């Protein structure tokens, strides 16, 4: 990553408010922004998070939310029942006493329902319907880092826009209050910024027949003419995306994939390694980030189209989770992101046929193949088995 300037607080309620978007990194960059914006919220905060851990980082955010509640700011927290399974009951009771609204999406154990696949994978915080943080960063020490430990590599976007932030607020409200359960949200239009930048909120929720993020990836790759940069943790793309990537490479598009050298799920990394030779045969460049765990979900096409959010390029994000990404069309923002990603590449290990030969043997290749088959099968089981009951209800309501 590029060396970051110290975060300077952004006050968003004055009359000189200007719409803009900012690339945000994991570490202090994200969490200083989050705490500052919580401290300045006047009306309402919506926080939707897959993982919210009560460690040092989580406690800092909880304390900031408590202070906001004491200022009579309305707060709505929606946490995933699986990702935030360890969230303590004692903290929940304390937040409720302060008037903070908190509930869990799809509790992991809920009577006759066991939600295995469908998850709320959001990482969204919206402040007063004016400013929003959206990306792949959860609330945890892993993403903030410590004095002697580098934070996981991840990204978010800070959006300062009445229209876009209000759309995100409406999205959060719909999910929190279980509104429009069977309808696609149609109000997410493309707002225009003064500098020509366009921003669009993209969603993926297969249960509601909504796959905007997956379609945007495919469409952008198909239209690519020069270069594609993708940061992919848990990278296990389906056949369609793999096919369009290889087609783009064959027509001369330069493709660089930044993948996990260190993973919090080792078997997923092995499964991804099984695809390396196939990608290399199609002239797709591979780079492994070994400085810390890679958790980012970012794409940049032709230095003009970008997407950042919670969506992983694998089966579970495509078909099993509720995901939100931001799509940005802006040459100015794209240049900033390109510079950052190329700086990341400069610190990565490039994977070549020679490095694969040096690091692998028959046992490793077999382990990678087994991991690939096991992970793909497991993701499909996790995605589809719980839907028997849900899909019956879904069909009845339609």
Q: Split the chain (398 residues) into runs of 10 and give each run's mean pLDDT.
A: 51 60 96 97 97 97 98 97 92 97 74 59 96 97 92 96 91 86 48 73 85 94 97 93 96 97 92 94 97 97 97 88 94 95 97 91 91 83 52 34
Query: What phi, psi does 364 have (nearest 5°)?
Result: -65, -40
Q: Do the domain assignments include residue 238?
A: yes
Question: The dihedral of CA 265, 269, 270, 271: what is its sign?
Answer: positive
- Both 369 and 275 in one domain: the answer is yes
The rounded distance, in Å, linking the Cα atoms of 213 and 147 is 36
Q: Can you give the pLDDT at residue 389?
A: 41
Number of domains the chain contains = 2
Q: Do the domain assignments include residue 2?
A: no
- Both 157 and 234 in one domain: the answer is no
The rounded distance, in Å, linking the Cα atoms of 136 and 280 is 27
Q: Can you give the pLDDT at residue 397?
A: 32
Which ranges of the chain would DSSP assign to H, the alpha helix?
28-40, 56-70, 89-97, 141-144, 162-176, 212-223, 239-250, 266-273, 276-281, 315-319, 331-346, 353-359, 362-384, 387-397
CATH code for position 71? 3.30.870.10
The rounded distance, in Å, linking the Cα atoms of 364 and 172 is 44
- Both 223 and 294 in one domain: the answer is yes
Question: 153 and 26 in contact (C-beta within 8 Å)?
Answer: yes
- Both 64 and 213 in one domain: the answer is no
Question: 18 and 194 in contact (C-beta within 8 Å)?
Answer: yes
Q: Do the domain assignments include residue 186?
A: no
- Both 333 and 222 in one domain: the answer is yes
Last residue of a domain, one of 176, 195, 212: 176
The rounded distance, in Å, linking the Cα atoms of 329 and 393 is 38
- Both 64 and 154 in one domain: the answer is yes
State pTM to two decimals.
0.88
Q: Looking up tokens 């990306």, which residue turns up? A: 135
Q: Which residues pair with 254 in a beta bridge?
A: 227
Q: Do the domain assignments include residue 149?
A: yes
Q: Which residues pair with 232 in a beta bridge?
A: 259, 297
Domain that holds residue 252: 204-381
- Both 211 and 157 in one domain: the answer is no
Q: Do the domain assignments include residue 155?
A: yes
- Both 145 and 283 in one domain: the answer is no
Last residue of a domain, one of 176, 193, 227: 176
- Both 64 and 118 in one domain: the answer is yes
- Both 59 and 124 in one domain: the answer is yes
* 19 closest CA partner among 115, 162, 135: 162
Q: Which token pair is 360?
A: 């692998």
Q: Can you give the pLDDT at residue 113?
A: 45
- Both 377 and 238 in one domain: the answer is yes
- Both 244 and 374 in one domain: the answer is yes
């Amino acid at each position: 990553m590029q060396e970051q300037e110290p975060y300077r607080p952004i006050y968003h309620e004055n009359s000189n408010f200007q719409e803009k978007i900012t690339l945000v990194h994991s570490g202090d960059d994200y969490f200083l922004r989050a705490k500052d914006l919580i401290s300045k919220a006047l009306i309402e905060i919506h926080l939707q998070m897959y993982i919210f851990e009560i460690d040092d980082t989580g406690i800092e955010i909880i304390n900031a939310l408590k202070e906001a509640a004491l200022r009579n700011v309305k707060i709505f927290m929606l946490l995933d029942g699986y990702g935030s399974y360890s969230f303590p009951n004692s903290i929940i009771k304390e937040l409720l006493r302060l008037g903070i609204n908190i509930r869990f999406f799809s509790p992991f154990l809920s009577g006759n329902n066991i939600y295995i696949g469908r998850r709320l994978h959001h990482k969204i915080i919206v402040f007063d319907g004016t400013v929003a943080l959206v990306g792949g960063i959860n609330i945890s020490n892993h993403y903030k880092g410590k004095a002697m430990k580098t934070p996981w590599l991840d990204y978010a976007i800070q959006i300062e826009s009445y229209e876009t932030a209000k759309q995100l607020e409406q999205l959060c409200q719909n999910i929190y209050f279980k509104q429009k359960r069977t309808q696609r949200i149609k109000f997410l239009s493309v707002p225009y910024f003064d500098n020509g930048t366009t921003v669009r909120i993209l969603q993926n929720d297969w249960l509601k027949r909504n796959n905007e993020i997956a379609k945007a990836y495919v469409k952008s790759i198909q239209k690519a003419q020069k270069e594609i940069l993708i940061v992919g943790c848990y990278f296990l793309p389906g056949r369609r995306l793999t096919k369009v990537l290889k087609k783009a490479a064959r027509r001369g598009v330069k493709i660089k994939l930044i993948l996990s050298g260190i993973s919090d799920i080792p078997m997923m990394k092995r499964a991804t390694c099984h695809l390396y030779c196939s990608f290399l045969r199609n002239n797709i460049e591979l780079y492994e980030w070994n400085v810390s765990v890679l958790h980012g979900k970012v794409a940049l096409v032709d230095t003009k189209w970008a997407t950042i959010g919670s969506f992983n390029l694998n089966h579970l994000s495509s078909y099993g989770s509720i995901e939100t990404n931001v799509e940005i069309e802006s040459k100015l923002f794209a240049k900033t992101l390109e510079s950052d990603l190329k700086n990341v590449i400069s610190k990565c290990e490039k994977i070549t046929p020679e490095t694969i030969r040096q690091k692998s043997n028959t046992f490793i290749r077999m382990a990678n193949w087994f991991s690939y088959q096991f992970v793909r099968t497991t993701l499909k089981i996790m995605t589809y088995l719980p839907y028997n009951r849900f899909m019956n209800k879904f069909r009845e309501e339609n």
